[in-house]
Each structure stands twice: as C-alpha cells, then as structure tokens.
C-alpha cells in the first residue's frame, strides 16, 4: 500500500505588530547613561585628538617660562631641606664629639676648684676715731691660694685680676691680683698692695665702725675677680674665664703699722662649669 504524504502547514506571514507586553518587559535597559555611546557631534564641529604626552608635558609657548619656574620650586625645596638636614647633623655631631671630649678630660684629670683664704691684713689711714671727712686707706693683703685638691691640673692666673676690701658695702681699697702659674698640689702665698682715696662714711657708719674698732672685731669683706685658665698636662689648656672669690673676715684693729689679726670666716668661690671653659 502506497504511503500518503501530508502537506506541511504554511507558516503565517510576519506581522509588524509590537511584541506582547510580557516579552517587552524582559528587554534590558541601560542602568547609567555612560554605558551608551557618545552622542554624535553636531554638524560643523571638528574633533582634534592631541597626544597625551604633549598635553601633560609641553605647556603653551606663552606660559613656558612660568611653567618652568613652578616646576623648579619642588627641586629647590628638596635641596634646601637636604642642606638643612646635613647642617643640623654636622652641628649635632660636633656637639656630641665636644661633649665626649670634655667628659673624657674630666674623667682623666678630675679638676677641682682652688680654695682661697686671707692670711693677714695691714691697714693704714683708716681710723674711725680720727676727725676727718674722708680717708685714704692703704692695705697690704696676704692671700693664700691652695691648689692641693688637683693632682693633675695646673692653674694659670692671668693678668687683669683685682682684689678689693670693703666695709658695710663701701669699697675701701683695691689692688691687682698678681699673675702666676700654680702647679698641681701647690699652695702659694702672695701679698698685694691695695689703695683707696676719698673714702667717706655716714654718721651712723662712723659710730658703728668706732664701736667695732674699740671691741677689736671689725668685719670686712675681701673680694677677688681673677681670670684663670686651666692647664691639663703640658699642652692642653682651656679658655680664660673669670673666677670670683668672696671672703668674710674680721680684724682686731685698724690704722696700725703692725698687721691686724684676721679671723677668716671662709671664702666662697664661684666658677663656671667645666664645659664653659672650652
């Protein structure tokens, strides 16, 4: 029996009608306008593309000088910072080396402050009992300088030192401190002549001085300012600095050819610290 062939149904013609609503809902919509392509230029507009390196590195000719000036500022600032850091480091290194040197010298030589005392005073021309409007005192002072505390450090007493004697804040006489070198573990006794002129007292000071003279206990102040330089060994020496000494003494008499007996109540010595001597 022969096979029967059934004809295929003819597909419907394409329709230009819009798709159903449920199919339109499945289409994707751009989330951001940037995803879309750039809008076409308007008619009569030209687009010129410039290489990126020329835009960033090559300024316009009219601003090339200003650009060069502004570009050089960071380089100058970096160089200035580097120079400042180098100078600060050098100064800090020098300070540390100097401190280490001073510390080593101190540990090796162990410098000590010298001590002073007034051995005697010979006073002339100062008599509170005398009827006089002014006095011209002449004082010979014997001073004892003791460097026994230093075993390795010598002391150079330089020119320009001064010794003064005062009573109740009024200067009576002044004279020079002699220049000499004092070796370690040395005690030196020296005498210096002091002189004054036109010394006057108030009535109250005159009465008090006369009473103290009659009692045999006149308080005086002996002060000295001496330029001193320390010597470590034979080569190493410090700068010259001033050493100040203040001694409170009491004498038993005034205006006598013989030296007055002195009761030394101690001398205070003021000197700068060791690091100041360098």
pLDDT at 31 over 60: no
| 166/2 Cα distance (integer angstroms) | 162
The arithmetic mean of pLDDT across residues 87-96, rounded, is 90
The arithmetic mean of pLDDT across residues 172-187, rounded, is 94
Query: What's the chain's average pLDDT?
Result: 78
Q: Find out whether 118 and 249 touch, Cβ atoms under 8 Å.
A: yes
Give the CA diameter of the chain: 183
Per-residue pLDDT at 24: 46
Whole-number percent of the chain with pLDDT over 90: 28
Of 1-5, 36-40, 104-108, the poorest mean pLDDT is in 1-5
Residue scoring higher pLDDT (252 or 10): 252
**pLDDT bracket for residue 159 (50, 70, 90):** very high
pLDDT at 22 over 50: no
Residue scoring higher pLDDT (21 or 235): 235
Residue scoring higher pLDDT (58 or 246): 246
pLDDT at 32 over 90: no
- The separation between CA 240 and the C-alpha centre of its own chain, rounded to angstroms, equals 19
pLDDT (tens digit per residue) in 254-276: 866 666 778 777 789 988 765 55
Which residue is listed with tokens 């460097």?
A: 147
**pLDDT bracket for residue 155 (50, 70, 90):** very high
Q: Find out whether 121 and 262 touch, Cβ atoms under 8 Å.
A: yes
Coil, helix or strand at residue 274: helix
| 212/65 Cα distance (integer angstroms) | 90
pTM summary value: 0.64
């Amino acid at each position: 029996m022969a096979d029967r062939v059934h004809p295929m149904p003819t597909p419907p013609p394409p329709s230009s009608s819009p798709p159903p609503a449920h199919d339109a809902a499945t289409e994707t919509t751009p989330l951001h306008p940037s995803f879309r392509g750039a809008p076409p230029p308007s008619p009569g507009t030209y687009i010129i593309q410039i290489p990126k390196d020329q835009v960033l590195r090559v300024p316009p000719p009219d601003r090339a000088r200003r650009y060069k000036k502004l570009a050089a500022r960071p380089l100058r600032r970096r160089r200035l910072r580097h120079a400042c850091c180098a100078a600060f480091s050098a100064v800090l290194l020098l300070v540390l080396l100097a401190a280490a040197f001073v510390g080593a010298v101190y540990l090796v030589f162990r410098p000590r402050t010298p001590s002073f005392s007034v051995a005697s005073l010979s006073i002339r021309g100062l008599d509170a009992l005398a009827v006089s409007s002014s006095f011209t005192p002449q004082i010979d002072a014997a001073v004892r300088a003791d460097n026994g505390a230093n075993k390795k450090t010598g002391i150079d007493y330089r020119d320009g030192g001064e010794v003064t004697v005062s009573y109740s804040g009024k200067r009576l006489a002044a004279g020079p401190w002699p220049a000499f070198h004092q070796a370690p573990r040395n005690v030196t006794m020296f005498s210096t002549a002091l002189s004054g002129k036109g010394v006057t007292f108030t009535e109250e000071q005159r009465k008090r001085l006369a009473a103290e003279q009659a009692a045999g206990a006149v308080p005086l102040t002996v002060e000295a300012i001496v330029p001193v330089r320390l010597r470590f060994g034979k080569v190493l020496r410090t700068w010259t600095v001033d050493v100040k000494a203040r001694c409170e003494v009491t004498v038993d008499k005034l205006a006598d050819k013989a030296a007055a007996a002195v009761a030394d109540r101690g001398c205070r010595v003021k000197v700068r610290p060791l690091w100041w001597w360098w």
